[in-house]
């Protein structure tokens, strides 16, 4: 092993060579920006005309904007699972994944806040939530915890990066000139002194502990947006853990997909190894099993009693109008992935990435199925209203507006990963046995 | 707002006049502060002191905290935003001493939908927007179908109000659940939380928006309706202030609706104007509430469709055009 | 519009058999047929009547002469047609006053004057109509009754006393007068108990439901009125305020601190929990941010 010990220069080069503006990056960002502009144009139409440009109406009043919101909050939870939970229990293999997980957390949490604005009838009154906020409203809690979680995740992304930036701006030869001052400022004159390390380690430790309740809160509170109502399908005491476990499934899948593309595009095969993919596969199987368990609870228990409204709801979901989507999600997004990922060959990078894509798409549809069908069957019948009030179908404008957050997330992840090392440099070097790095 | 015509108003209206006086004083105070002549009235804790520049003609007014003060006529100025402010504090306070209650007698409803027309007219609603809607319901396959006028139940434990993040919808002391459309951010959480589907949303520019754009907003009428905000039945709070029955109640040709004050134990039928004891009406006719098991404690009671005045007409609800 | 038509079609189809089954006559007593308006109809009255008609009657009877009345059972009919116009003013007045399902009773909804105004309006559609001369009726020959109201503590009853002005101008207790007792409520008067007839002393004693809510001191506003549906008397009602109701001073419904309260009434435990959690977490965040700034300082030192 000693012979294979990589030199520090190799590690530095491997992890930072992608930090430059190249043609591929410009093309990709250009594509994202143009797409975003188209979506923003759609949003400007909504601002001008009102929420009525979307397919939502008086009975199905929350549509894909809200299921999108739930999806984004869900995906952001993974930062906490990887860094905090796995980190605190001493899993060493997660080191190269922590930054990816935190990047995803920051991107999705930030965008989740924007998604919810697109669902407001009066977005210009956003500040009212702070001016007139009521501590009794789950929306108020949601705003609080999402802001908090975003800040915590941002700090968790930043703190371990201080050492990296200190190293890179001193050592790297390939770092673009214009980035140097940015790195210098952000590295806070870090010199690896014991005192500085003490501060950073203490802060990270506090953050890792704080981020656990914050992350649990954001998705629990998001689930309460539904669970505090009496509607069939939402009226569930299980919604908090059901949402949280579902969030880990979506987030793990997102991390695996990100890992795959970073590894390929930034040539990180030596750092994001097959073992990492396999381990992430095991994590995904574990959280999927937990999620499956909650799913069984969520559908079997009301299905056993078949209370009037529940019966209608469950029938539509399991055997009616939404049955195709429902079973597609439950089998293709949950059962089959669990079974496949139990076998090692399916935990190889490419197959597990493909499985993760399926899981992530299913996760989005699942949120659609949580949000919309319930509203199509209120306690009292929907009568004397136009057909489009009774059945929800998203409009083109609405779809474009819903695509925007995905583009934004991609932009944020691309920017962070492009201009900062994807794999924690300092920690990796230490783990690879390079004890002393000169910081002068 | 005009309250000059004091003719013969019930005490709710008297209270309202008092409140409007108090508000006038409050507004007067604000206006006074704004006038930086140095000789303007000083506003401190609701008490005014007349200053140098006096007209000699003064008026005794009631302050917000119930004190009588003498104010020079010169100082009395109408506040520009008086309507709005008047509306807000008056609205939130409700009509003191009242607990409004509605009783809907299903045995008399023949689905004439006259109530809906009156309601939509008063609140400037589009044809597919309902503060009040008659639904055709059949509880079980073996029981007879009936028409049920369904409006906001003005619950005493209102799930919609609980979830509002900005206090835009609120419960008043007199029981009415109201919406302040200038505050509503349009999150529609209240709509999701309402088990009675009583709330509607202004998805598009409200009806006759251009015509009413300069009209002063009245929170007790939800008029003019505002784009991107929630709207719903408000028990015609504006009419109650004037001692009048709600629009729907007085529009019914068949005597379906009773409306009144639970504190007086009385309700008045909107068609016959007969006033009866609420407790007796509910006791003798098997009064019930919609979905009481949800614990929402509605302020609307229903009398079962027994001994019906009209044969049931099966109506295939033809829907308005796509909106 | 199509919707309205549909209702009409369904209404006609379903009500046709019912129409035959319930076709009954609506007889007006002879003495009521003879009743005529107290004064000669004026243009002003017709105008007032038109307003009332448009607001109240038009929804079922349609516009006079247009035959666009609502299809009900029995049919309301067009009031410009002979069926209505051949009736005397007294008949019309009686029908408006008493009603007969589905025609509502307008006794408490429209004032005497308004009811006559509506008739004045309806008559404008009948060119052949000649109003009977109100003065031809001669001088009023009925009883002239004045009521007084008091509460008798020993009897625990509300006593209405009727006094009658006799032809010779003297006053005497009025026996055999039917009296109804009302309590004032927000939207109108509510009848309490049954109608009573005065005894030889001109008195009628009413049981009062003492559990009926009054104001916070228990005061209720009571009115006694003579029951005279046929307008045979001239009567003056009596009113009074008595502390015989249940004192009622219920607090507003927003006193409690609940989930649905406004934010100045947030449940205290919730306010503490929320503020506490936010302060703790953000305290740490601020601490961390200060620490980060310290990293820089430590290096300089």
- Give Dmax (Cα) for chain B: 82
Q: What angle do CA A78, A84, A87 make, to 5 degrees?
A: 110
Q: Which among C266, C282, C296 has the least Cβ separation from residue A135?
A: C266
Q: Which one-letter DSSP state was computed for residue B167? A: S
Which residue in this structure is represented by tokens 């009509």? B95
Task: Answer whether residue B307 shows pLDDT above 50.
Answer: yes
Among the listed residues B122, B149, B135, B115, the one whose alpha carbon sits nearest the alpha carbon of residue B207: B122
- Between A291 and C7, where is the model more confident? A291
Distance from CA of A71 to the nearest CA of C (A): 25
Relative orientation angle of helices A95-118 and A138-171, to the nearest 10 degrees: 140
What average pLDDT score do residues B139-164 get?
Answer: 96
CA C155 to chain centre: 32
Among the listed residues A202, A391, A130, the one whose alpha carbon sits nearest the alpha carbon of residue C291: A202
Q: Which residues of C touch A144 (CB under 8 A)?
A: 274, 278
Cis status, amide bond into C74, omega within 30 of 0: yes
Both tokens of residue A340? 């496949």
Q: How confident is the model at residue B39 (pLDDT cuts 50, 70, 90)?
A: very low
What average pLDDT score do residues B212-229 get?
Answer: 89
Neighboring chains of A (3 or more beta-carbon pairs < 8 A): B, C
Query: Distance between CA C197 and CA B213 in Å, rounded?
Result: 59
CB atoms closer than 10 angstroms to residue C31: 12
Both tokens of residue B127? 């044809």
Task: Answer whether residue B35 shows pLDDT above 50.
Answer: no
What average pLDDT score do residues C275-291 get?
Answer: 96
Task: Answer whether residue C13 shows pLDDT above 60.
Answer: no
C-beta separation of B227 from B205 below 8 A: yes
Query: Distance between CA C179 and CA C39 in Å, rounded?
Result: 27
Query: Distance between CA C301 and CA C296 in Å, rounded?
Result: 9
Reported residue count of chain A is 440
Decide if C269 touches B, using CB distance below 8 A. no
Q: The pTM is what? A: 0.82
Query: Distance between CA A360 and CA A341 in Å, rounded?
Result: 15
Q: Which residues of B touch A378 (CB under 8 A)?
A: 195, 197
Q: Compare all CA atoms of chain A with the CA of B164 and give the residue at the minimum distance.
A: A137
**DSSP E strands: which ranges in B130-229?**
132-137, 146-151, 169-171, 177-179, 200-201
Domains of chain B from N-terminus onward: 11-80 (no CATH), 99-303 (3.30.70.20)
Q: Compare all CA atoms of chain B with the CA of A60 and give the residue at the minimum distance.
A: B192
| Interchain pair C252, B174: CB under 8 A | yes
ipTM of the modeled complex: 0.92
What average pLDDT score do residues A35-39 get?
Answer: 97
Q: Which residues of C touch B173 (CB under 8 A)?
A: 251-255
CB atoms closer than 10 angstroms to residue A238: 14
Residue partners of B36: CB distance under 8 A and separation at least 6:
none
| Interchain pair C288, A206: CB under 8 A | yes
What average pLDDT score do residues C131-143 get?
Answer: 70
pLDDT of residue B186: 96
pLDDT of residue B187: 96
CA C158 to chain centre: 24
- Give Dmax (Cα) for chain A: 79
Query: Distance between CA B275 and CA B272 in Å, rounded?
Result: 9
pLDDT of residue A331: 97
Among the listed residues C94, C107, C118, the one whose alpha carbon sits nearest the alpha carbon of residue B273: C107
Q: Which among C186, C258, C259 has the least Cβ separation from residue B261?
A: C186
**Count of H-run helices and E-run strands, chain C:** 8, 9
Question: Burial letters for A411-437: b for 16+ Cβ neighbours within 10 Å, e otherwise?
Answer: bbbbebbbbbbbbbbbbbbeebebeeb
Among the listed residues A375, A392, A400, A404, the one whose alpha carbon sits nearest the alpha carbon of residue A55: A392
Query: Distance between CA A407 and CA B86 in Å, rounded?
Result: 47
Average pLDDT, chain C: 85
What average pLDDT score do residues B308-313 get?
Answer: 88
Phi, psi of B72 (to 5 degrees): -70, 145
Indicate the pairing of strand C157-165 with strand B300-303. unpaired
Q: Compare all CA atoms of chain C with the CA of A163 and give the residue at the minimum distance.
A: C295
H-helix or E-strand spanning residue B103: strand B100-105
Q: Which residues of B touch C183 (CB under 8 A)?
A: 266
Helix (H, G, I), strand (E, B) or coil at B88: helix
Both tokens of residue C27? 């007889």
Query: Distance between CA B59 and CA B79 in Å, rounded?
Result: 17
Indicate the pairing of strand B300-303 with strand B58-62. unpaired
In chain C, pLDDT over 90 holds for what percent of residues? 46
Which residue in this structure is represented by tokens 């916070």? C216
Q: Which of B:149-168 have CB within 8 Å of A? A: 150, 159, 162-168
Query: Distance between CA A181 and CA B35 in Å, rounded?
Result: 54
Domains of chain A from N-terminus onward: 2-431 (1.20.1630.10)
What average pLDDT score do residues A18-22 get?
Answer: 91
Query: Distance between CA C180 and CA C235 in Å, rounded?
Result: 13
pLDDT in tens, A110-169: 999 999 999 999 999 999 999 999 999 999 999 999 999 999 999 999 999 999 999 998
pLDDT of residue A211: 95
CB atoms closer than 10 angstroms to residue B194: 28
Task: Answer whether residue B320 shows pLDDT above 70.
Answer: no
Query: Distance between CA C91 and CA B314 in Å, rounded?
Result: 36
C-beta separation of C206 from C196 below 8 A: yes
H-helix or E-strand spanning residue A258: helix A239-265
Task: Answer whether residue B37 shows pLDDT above 50.
Answer: no
Task: Answer whether residue B74 shows pLDDT above 70.
Answer: no
DSSP string, A230-246: --TTT--TTHHHHHHHH
H-helix or E-strand spanning residue C23: none
pLDDT of residue C228: 84
pLDDT in tens, C25-43: 788 877 777 777 877 888 8
Relative orientation angle of helices A239-265 and A349-376, to the nearest 10 degrees: 140
Query: Distance between CA B125 and CA A7 in Å, rounded?
Result: 74
Query: Distance between CA A24 and CA B168 in Å, rounded?
Result: 49
Among the listed residues A141, B295, B65, the one whose alpha carbon sits nearest the alpha carbon of residue C266: A141
Both tokens of residue A140? 């108020």
Q: Which among C271, C278, C296 has the least Cβ separation from residue A189?
A: C296
Query: Distance between CA C161 and CA C148 in Å, rounded?
Result: 5
Task: Answer whether residue B2 shows pLDDT above 50.
Answer: no
Name which of A223-227, C12-16, C242-246, C271-275 the model is least confident about.
C12-16
Decide if B224 touches C, using CB distance below 8 A. no
Helix (H, G, I), strand (E, B) or coil at C279: helix
What average pLDDT score do residues B66-80 get?
Answer: 48
Relative orientation angle of helices C43-52 and C112-123, to the nearest 10 degrees: 100
Average pLDDT, chain B: 80
H-helix or E-strand spanning residue B258: strand B257-261
CB atoms closer than 10 angstroms to residue C176: 12
pLDDT of residue B91: 83
Q: Which residues of C touch B116 (CB under 8 A)?
A: none
Task: Answer whether residue B134 shows pLDDT above 80.
Answer: yes
Query: Distance between CA C271 and CA C279 in Å, rounded?
Result: 12
Q: Which one-letter DSSP state was computed for residue B279? A: H
Q: Compare all CA atoms of chain B with the CA of A118 and give the residue at the minimum distance.
A: B187
| Interchain pair A121, B185: CB under 8 A | yes
Residue partners of C123: CB distance under 8 A and separation at least 6:
C41, C46, C85, C89, C129, C131
Which residue in this structure is represented by tokens 């409140």? B19
Q: What angle do CA C27, C31, C32 make, to 5 degrees?
A: 60
| Plot region of B5 (φ>0 → left; ψ -120 to 50 → alpha; else → beta) | beta
Phi, psi of B231 (to 5 degrees): -140, 160
Query: Distance between CA A322 and CA A315 in Å, rounded?
Result: 9
pLDDT of residue C135: 64
Average pLDDT, chain A: 94
């Amino acid at each position: 092993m000693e012979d294979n010990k990589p030199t520090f220069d190799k590690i530095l080069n491997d992890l930072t060579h992608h930090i430059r503006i190249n043609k591929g990056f410009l093309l990709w960002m250009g594509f994202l920006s143009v797409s975003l502009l188209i979506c923003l144009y759609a949003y400007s139409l909504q601002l001008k005309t009102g929420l009525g440009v979307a397919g939502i109406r008086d009975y199905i009043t929350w549509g894909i904007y809200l299921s999108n919101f739930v999806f984004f909050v869900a995906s952001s939870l993974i930062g906490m699972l990887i860094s905090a939970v796995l980190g605190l229990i001493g899993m060493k293999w997660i080191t190269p994944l922590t930054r990816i997980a935190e990047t995803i957390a920051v991107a999705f949490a930030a965008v989740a806040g924007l998604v919810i604005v697109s669902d407001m009838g009066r977005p210009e009154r956003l500040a009212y939530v702070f001016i007139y906020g009521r501590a009794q409203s789950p929306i108020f809690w949601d705003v609080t915890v999402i802001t908090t979680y975003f800040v915590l995740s941002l700090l968790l992304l930043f703190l371990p990066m201080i050492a990296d930036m200190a190293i890179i701006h001193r050592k790297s030869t390939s770092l673009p000139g214009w980035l140097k001052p940015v790195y210098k400022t952000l590295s806070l004159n870090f010199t690896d002194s014991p005192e500085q390390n003490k501060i950073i380690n203490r802060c990270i430790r506090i953050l890792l502990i704080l981020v656990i309740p914050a992350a649990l809160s954001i998705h629990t509170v998001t689930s309460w947006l539904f669970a505090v109502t009496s509607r069939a399908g939402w009226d569930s005491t299980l919604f908090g853990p059901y949402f949280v476990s579902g969030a880990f499934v979506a987030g793990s899948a997102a991390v695996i997909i990100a890992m795959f593309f970073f590894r390929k595009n930034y040539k990180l095969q030596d750092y994001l190894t097959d073992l990492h993919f396999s381990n992430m596969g095991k994590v995904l199987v574990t959280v999927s099993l937990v999620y499956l368990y909650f799913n069984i609870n969520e559908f079997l228990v009301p299905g056993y009693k078949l209370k009037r409204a529940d019966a209608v709801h469950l029938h539509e979901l399991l055997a009616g109008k939404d049955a195709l989507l429902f079973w597609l999600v439950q089998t293709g997004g949950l059962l089959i992935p669990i079974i496949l990922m139990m076998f090692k060959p399916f935990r190889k990078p490419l197959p597990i990435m493909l499985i993760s894509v399926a899981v992530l798409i299913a996760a989005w549809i699942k949120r659609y199925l949580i949000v919309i069908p319930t509203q199509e069957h209120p306690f009292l019948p929907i009568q004397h209203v136009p057909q489009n009030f009774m059945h929800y179908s998203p409009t083109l404008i609405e779809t474009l507006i819903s695509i925007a957050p995905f583009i934004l997330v991609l932009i944020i992840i691309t920017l962070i990963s492009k201009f900062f090392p994807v794999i924690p440099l300092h920690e990796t070097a230490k783990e690879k046995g390079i004890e002393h790095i000169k910081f002068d | 707002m005009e309250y000059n015509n004091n003719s013969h108003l019930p005490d709710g209206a008297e209270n309202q006049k008092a409140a409007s006086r108090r508000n006038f004083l409050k507004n007067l105070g604000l206006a006074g502060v704004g006038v930086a002549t140095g000789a303007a009235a000083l506003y401190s804790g609701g008490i005014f002191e007349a200053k140098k520049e006096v007209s000699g003609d003064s008026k005794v007014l009631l302050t917000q905290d119930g004190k009588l003060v003498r104010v020079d006529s010169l100082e009395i100025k109408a506040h520009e935003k008086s309507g709005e402010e008047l509306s807000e504090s008056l609205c939130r306070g409700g009509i003191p001493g009242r607990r409004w209650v509605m009783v809907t007698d299903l045995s008399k409803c023949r689905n004439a939908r006259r109530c809906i027309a009156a309601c939509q007219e008063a609140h400037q609603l589009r044809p597919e927007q309902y503060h009040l809607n008659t639904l055709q319901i059949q509880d079980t396959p073996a029981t007879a179908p009936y028409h049920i006028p369904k409006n906001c139940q003005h619950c005493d434990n209102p799930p919609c109000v609980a979830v509002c993040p900005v206090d835009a919808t609120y419960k008043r002391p007199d029981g009415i659940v109201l919406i302040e459309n200038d505050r509503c951010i349009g999150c529609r959480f209240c709509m999701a939380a309402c088990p009675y589907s009583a709330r509607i949303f202004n998805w598009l520019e409200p009806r006759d928006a251009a015509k009413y754009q300069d009209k002063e907003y009245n929170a007790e009428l939800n008029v003019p309706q505002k784009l991107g905000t929630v709207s719903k039945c408000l028990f015609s709070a504006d009419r109650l202030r004037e001692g009048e029955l709600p629009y729907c109640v007085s529009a019914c040709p068949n005597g379906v609706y009773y409306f009144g004050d639970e504190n007086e134990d009385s309700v008045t039928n909107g068609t016959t104007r007969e006033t009866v004891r609420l407790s007796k009406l509910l006791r003798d006719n098997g009064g019930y509430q919609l979905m009481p098991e949800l614990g929402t404690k509605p302020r609307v009671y229903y009398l079962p469709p027994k001994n019906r005045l009209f044969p049931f007409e099966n109506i295939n609800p033809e829907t308005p055009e796509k909106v | 519009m199509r919707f309205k038509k549909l209702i009409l079609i369904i209404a006609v189809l379903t009500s046709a058999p019912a129409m035959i089954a319930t076709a009954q006559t609506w007889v007006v007593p002879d003495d009521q047929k003879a009743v005529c308006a107290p004064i000669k109809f004026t243009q002003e009255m017709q105008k007032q009547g038109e307003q009332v008609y448009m607001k109240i009657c038009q929804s079922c009877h349609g516009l006079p002469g247009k035959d666009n009345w609502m299809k009900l059972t029995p049919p309301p009919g067009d009031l410009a047609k002979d069926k209505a116009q051949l009736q005397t003013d007294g008949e019309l007045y009686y029908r408006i006053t008493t009603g007969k399902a589905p025609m509502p009773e307008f006794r408490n909804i429209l004032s005497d004057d308004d009811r006559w105004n509506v008739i004045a309006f309806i008559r404008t559609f009948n060119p052949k109509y000649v109003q009977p001369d109100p003065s031809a009726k001669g001088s009023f020959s009925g009883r002239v009754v004045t009521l007084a109201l008091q509460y008798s503590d020993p009897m625990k009853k509300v006593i209405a006393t009727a006094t009658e002005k006799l032809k010779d101008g003297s006053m005497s207790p009025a026996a055999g007068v039917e009296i109804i007792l009302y309590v004032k409520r927000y939207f109108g008067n509510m009848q309490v108990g049954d109608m009573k007839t005065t005894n030889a002393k001109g008195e009628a004693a009413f049981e009062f439901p003492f559990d009926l809510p009054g104001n916070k001191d228990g005061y209720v506003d009571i009115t006694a009125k003579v029951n005279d549906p046929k307008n045979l008397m001239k009567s003056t009602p009596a009113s009074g305020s008595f502390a015989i109701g249940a004192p009622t001073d219920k607090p507003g419904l927003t006193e409690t601190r609940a989930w649905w309260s406004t934010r100045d009434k947030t449940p205290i435990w919730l306010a503490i929990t929320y503020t506490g959690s936010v302060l703790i977490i953000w305290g740490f965040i601020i601490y961390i941010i200060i620490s980060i700034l310290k990293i820089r300082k430590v290096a300089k030192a």
